[in-house]
Amino acid sequence: MPEASPSDSPVTTADHAAVRVITVNRPDKLNALNAATLDALREAFEAAASDDSVRCVVLTGAGAKAFVAGADISEMNTLSPVQGRDFSQRGQRLMRAIERMPKPVVAMVNGFALGGGLELAMCCHLRIAADSAKIGQPEINLGLIPGFGGTQRLLRLAGRAATLELCLVGAPIDAQRARELGIVSRVVAAAELESETMKLAAQLADSAPLALRGIIDCVNVGGECGIEEGLEYETAQFGLMFSTDDMREGTGAFLERRKPAFRGS
């Protein structure tokens, strides 16, 4: 288990058995993403990826109002064009690292997920939103465009028409509409968000780690290539599973009508 995070850290972590909860901890700023927070998130995810005791990660925001309400506008207002590009690249490196995590990452969307906050949620593998959450890409209202991958991931999740409407109009949508568009995986009552998210995370943590990683890899590769290449990659990953103890344990447990005990080997 990692050492307890300082209460004034922009990102805190806490372990619940094999589930690590990573929290953006700037509630007074609605958890807005500045450069320091992006760097702290990158470090937290790198630590989770390399820790064998962690099998699933939950990402959320501190406080009741926001998951992440966007990038820190007070910091962006002072940036030059070159600095703006660098800020975008810093955010995109983080989002790509989360997307490529070898362990499942669940976004627990507890409030506003706007701009950089929606971009952060979309790079997670699953997204559970409170029914009170508000979701959108409002950068147009600042004379900006999404810079942390919003146009690309939203396009892949929700399609061209919905992406253009959300980005061009800039108005937020509610969680249920986001669910209908495929932007979030599930919508639950706000009072049940934490318990339902942790229940899902515990289920994922009990699953076969190498198979989870194989699925994440296949979906990532398939989303970025043609169907033939994607199918070939899936076949290769499927074959590799037959070299694992977990595959023998899972199939054996099924035949013996017992619960499998996966070890990640």
**Residues classed as catalytic:** 119, 139
DSSP assignment of the chain, as one string?
-PPPPPTTSSEEEEEETTEEEEEE--GGGTT-B-HHHHHHHHHHHHHHHH-TT--EEEEEESSSSEEE--B-HHHHTT--HHHHHHHHHHHHHHHHHHHT-SS-EEEEE-SEEETHHHHHHHTSSEEEEETT-EEE--GGGGT----SSHHHHHHHHH-HHHHHHHHHH---EEHHHHHHHTSSSEEE-GGGHHHHHHHHHHHHHHS-HHHHHHHHHHHHHHTTS-HHHHHHHHHHHHHHHTTSHHHHHHHHHHHHTS-------
- Whether the CA torsion 135, 137, 140, 143 is positive or negative: it is positive
Report residue 150: phi and psi, to 5°: -60, -45
**Burial environment of residue 130 by CB neighbours within 10 A (0 to 12, 13 to 18, 19 or more):** buried
